[in-house]
A and B are shown apart, each in its own frame.
Chain A
């Protein structure tokens, strides 16, 4: 597998992408079936060559062929094989190829899956997907080619190695998951453009993409959660979300995508919100590309900017191109987008969903504004003013509360309209539960935001449980089933509905975890062996301090014995101070890194960081954080995945 073959494969893929678009555009005009078949095969051909190029680059990374600039820059002989493979998405050109690879996987599945379906929609779906592939092929062929030979001035002995922050199992999984989410929205976007081009804006295209949308949403959600998990495990500041531009870049499409996931239910069932759905999917896809722009352009400073570059203007041009073309086509189809039905009542599930969507979009705008404020301020006033977490929290915490409340309100509203009697009946138990919880939390003396958050969590949980209880009762009364049978059949026959409720429970658990942040405590201190210090009711004693050499780093390891106030043993923590590339003769290439250790329980996490070491005096500088309820964020993530899988599971209709 020579690297030259990789470059040629990318050239071929680029040529095929142009031919795909041209062939299928001609087909849409003359309807010649041979052209459709050719276009179809050309689309598969693009994917084949992209797969080939990706395979060749991965192979070069595994065999450490430092003749390739990319391999020399992002791996070394000492890099473990798993991280050699993950180096594929560690650098700019590799990560763009990886984007293209995932897009090609999705394109192949869509093309094969719909070979004999959606004959009118598919040509424009393939044209759209091939156009997106073409953009990334332009980048990987002509702007940042991963198959370039090593530059003469880049000295390579045994490879530059992978950034230590990326040498983490989560980081090996997080980017692919996030990319699967980002890129996944290309398929619904392709169907949306196709529906517009065909003037077929009925719910048909929505039915074709419902599952795709959920899959992409699931991956994006998991990607974001894994990103938070990685930040928590690796960055050593004790948090999982910092409103960093790159974090926001993934959060913005998630917000519009979540609105879209809710909104398509209305179009599928009621054929309403046609314009709204088009706007949401166009925004979601554009924000996915914009997210890649934020990560790659170097326009924002971020802890995640591993691959900042000058690709910004090209991405920005593509973002404008998508917006102009998509909204341009949409404008010409406004008559076809008029929904045949109107909202009948404010107190209906339809209006609840619409309001919920609007709040999502407002939140997205707030995040967008805060993220790009430094750019706007520099453009207008010449000074880069960065807004930090306080701005984002001030704006988004209240919006988050509204969304959490709507998570509970929506399911209690009926389609079309909810009568007064039903409103009282449906809301009494959840509202009472929330109010009683609020009174208890106030009496305990919790601060306002904590009271609101926890009370809303109780309200939403009561809503979801009420819905499950009512459904089970209805089935047991009607079909004389046992509770377990009723529950199983009820969920099985209404997977998207009850899967959605499970997702809502996951979100509630995550909010409980977020709220725990209000009780965080931290302290920094230095210890010699045998000394101890206290933080938040725990005693930390340094038992020993030792050194250890491993294949790709050198480490100072501390052994901290943790006991509670009563002297009961809690755990031993072993945070490390590491130096990566320690064998590199150039000291500037050696990279220090703090590997933390966490003792995690449902109640709280004890988070330890080995900040620095004084070798001469045998002193370890330690930072301890006690973070309550963090584990609920990750448990909520698992529940969210479980609920989405229920909603995604195909059902057989009799």
Chain B
């Protein structure tokens, strides 16, 4: 029983992790990684610009920025988000 216990212990703790790690090398060739990150990054960017627009509106409502700056910045952010959306649209 000690033999089984000792070797079972070695198998589980030391050999199984090695098999787990090496297993992908025996898979058929998975090819090269495309770059699916761009879409996620663009979506994230879109979200952040929307947040900035909301924050800008809040700053304006609080009276922290004047009307001219508010409109100029808002226009700029809207143009930026339109550009991001146009990059996203063809893929979705």
- The answer to whether A474 and B52 touch across the interface, beta carbons within 8 angstroms, is no
Interface string of A464-499 (1 = CB under 8 A from B): 000100110111011000000000001001100100
Interface assignment of A426: CB less than 8 Å from any CB of chain B: yes
- The answer to whether A470 and B64 touch across the interface, beta carbons within 8 angstroms, is yes
Across the A-B interface, give the 8 residue pairs with the lowest CB-CB distance, nearest first: A33-B30, A37-B24, A474-B61, A31-B32, A470-B62, A414-B65, A41-B21, A474-B62
Interface assignment of A199: CB less than 8 Å from any CB of chain B: no
Q: A414 and B64 in contact (CB under 8 A), knowing A33-B33, A48-B17? A: yes
17 contacts between A and B (CB under 8 A): A12-B14, A12-B17, A32-B32, A35-B25, A38-B22, A42-B21, A45-B17, A119-B33, A207-B44, A414-B64, A414-B65, A415-B56, A418-B64, A421-B66, A467-B62, A474-B62, A494-B58
- The answer to whether A470 and B21 touch across the interface, beta carbons within 8 angstroms, is no
Q: Within the assembled complex, what's the spacing in Å between the Cα atoms of A17 and B80?
A: 43
- Which chain B residues border A653 with CB–CB below 8 Å? 47, 50-51
Interface assignment of A211: CB less than 8 Å from any CB of chain B: no
Total count of chain A residues near the partner, CB < 8 A: 54
Q: Within the assembled complex, what's the spacing in Å between the Cα atoms of A477 and B63?
A: 12
Q: Within the assembled complex, what's the spacing in Å between the Cα atoms of A493 and B51?
A: 9
Total count of chain B residues near the partner, CB < 8 A: 42
Output the nearest chain B residue to A419 by Cβ-Cβ distance: B66
- Which chain B residues border A49 with CB–CB below 8 Å? 17
Binding site for B on A (CB under 8 A): 5, 8-9, 12, 16, 30-38, 41-42, 45, 48-49, 52, 117-121, 203-204, 207, 268-269, 412, 414-419, 421-422, 425-426, 467, 470-471, 473-475, 477-478, 490, 493-494, 497, 653
- Which chain B residues border A207 with CB–CB below 8 Å? 44, 48
- Which chain A residues border B1 with CB–CB below 8 Å? none
Main secondary structure of the interface of B (DSSP, over half): helix
Interface assignment of B89: CB less than 8 Å from any CB of chain A: no
- The answer to whether B21 and A38 touch across the interface, beta carbons within 8 angstroms, is yes
Output the nearest chain B residue to A27 by Cβ-Cβ distance: B33
- For the complex with contacts A34-B25, A414-B69, 12 further pairs of A-B residues with Cβ separation under 8 Å are A30-B32, A32-B32, A37-B30, A45-B17, A52-B13, A117-B37, A117-B40, A419-B65, A470-B63, A470-B64, A474-B63, A493-B54
Within 8 A of A (CB), among B9-37: 9, 13-14, 17-18, 20-25, 27, 29-33, 35-37
Interface assignment of B82: CB less than 8 Å from any CB of chain A: no
Q: How far is the CB of B22 from chain A (nearest CB, A)?
A: 7
Q: Within the assembled complex, what's the spacing in Å between the Cα atoms of A34 and B21?
A: 11
Output the nearest chain A residue to B69 by Cβ-Cβ distance: A416
Q: Within the assembled complex, what's the spacing in Å between the Cα atoms of A12 and B62?
A: 59
- The answer to whether B35 and A8 touch across the interface, beta carbons within 8 angstroms, is no
Output the nearest chain A residue to B28 by Cβ-Cβ distance: A34
